[in-house]
Amino acid sequence: MKVLFNLKRLKLPQSFYRSHWYSTSWQQYFKGPIKDIIPKLPLSYQTRLLLWKQYERKRKNDIKDINITGYDINIDSNVINIDVNESFIKIWQNLDNNIKNNISPSQQVLLCSLIDDNDNETLLNMNENLKDYLINHNNINIKELKFYALDNKKENDQYQAKQALWHSTSHILAQAIELYYADLIDSENKQLILGNGPALKEDGFFYDVLLWDSKLKKNHTISLDKDIPSIIKIMKKIIQQKQTFTKITLTYDEAKQLFYKNPYKLAIIEKYKDNSILTAYKCGYFIDLCRGPHIYNTKLIKVLDLYKLSSVVIENNDNINDDNNNNIISSIEDKENNTFSQM
């Protein structure tokens, strides 16, 4: 059953504002009205951000002395010389209007892709650049750059744009959940653990959430009536902040260090132990292990509606002290209306 909310009437519980986490001391991460509802970052999240900055500096230092000259690439059957240091957003903005209109009449592209000489396609964020991609892929030759929008001529191209939009909204949902349950983060007996948050093949996305009390050995249940309206309100604040999605490549050891408090992410990382590259995305302060791609900022999301909660049984993880064989987690699903109407 779909549940609709009157977003104008939603309010966060007063206990949220009285929380010992509540503070405006970390306004460096957010600006504007969001500071009125966001608590102080738990220590483990501050550590996560510091690690991200450390890895980001290292990646930049690794490539700062590598020079790649201008690059000829095919965009919508036009050979164009591009600056490999420029973001794909900038490349799009500098294109001739006739080319942009032919790709997307609204000129509202959400993501892009690179196609190499072997016709392998890699989807990317619009705020990435070609130089980083070439360095991470041994200077493979790229023949085409494609842009994806909800009004592309090809239906499959529209689908790729929708998938990125839904997937990015799931990260916003996860960030809102972390903020709403901030008092659980560094608690001795309670844990908030995020599982998977993919886009669905049709109509939206979901995110798996475990609110675990190790002392009582039970899972806290998220309420459609009590919790979801407040989570939606936080999501809308995040969207209005125009937060950017940024990507980073990680080694196996770096990924383990970054997600040391999340046993489910650690289990995923372990599966890729022999892989030379793992990737993570940051949106605002929220960081998630993720292959992407994503839209380039949250303001591109116009309409959302969380409408379903369900329970999911997953394998027990040795890192969670549980006498049961399985853990039951809440799965939050979305039905998204992808029009460009105003929120």
Question: Is 334 in contact with 173 (CB distance < 8 Å)?
Answer: yes
Global pTM reads 0.80
What are the backbone angles phi and psi of residue 239, rounded to the nearest 5°?
Answer: -60, -45
Element (H or E) spanning 267, and its range? helix 263-271
- Of 65, 116, 64, 109, nearest to 91 by C-alpha is 109
- pLDDT, average across residues 307-319: 54
Residue range 250-300, pLDDT digits in tens: 999 999 999 988 888 999 999 888 876 799 999 988 999 999 899 999 988
- pLDDT, average across residues 226-251: 89
Distance CA 69, CA 60 (A): 18
- Spatial strand order of the sheet with 286-289 comes to 245-250, 278-283, 286-289
How confident is residue 222, by pLDDT bands cut at 50, 70 and 90?
A: confident
Please give the pLDDT value at position 289. 94
Residue range 24-81, pLDDT digits in tens: 333 344 443 344 444 466 777 788 889 999 999 998 888 877 888 778 999 999 999 9
- pLDDT, average across residues 311-335: 46
Residue 120 has pLDDT above 70, yes or no: yes
Please report where in the chains the tokens 């201008």 appear, as a residue.
70
DSSP annotation of 234:
H
Residue range 196-207, pLDDT digits in tens: 888 887 777 888
Q: Distance from CA of residue 97 to its chain's centroid?
A: 30
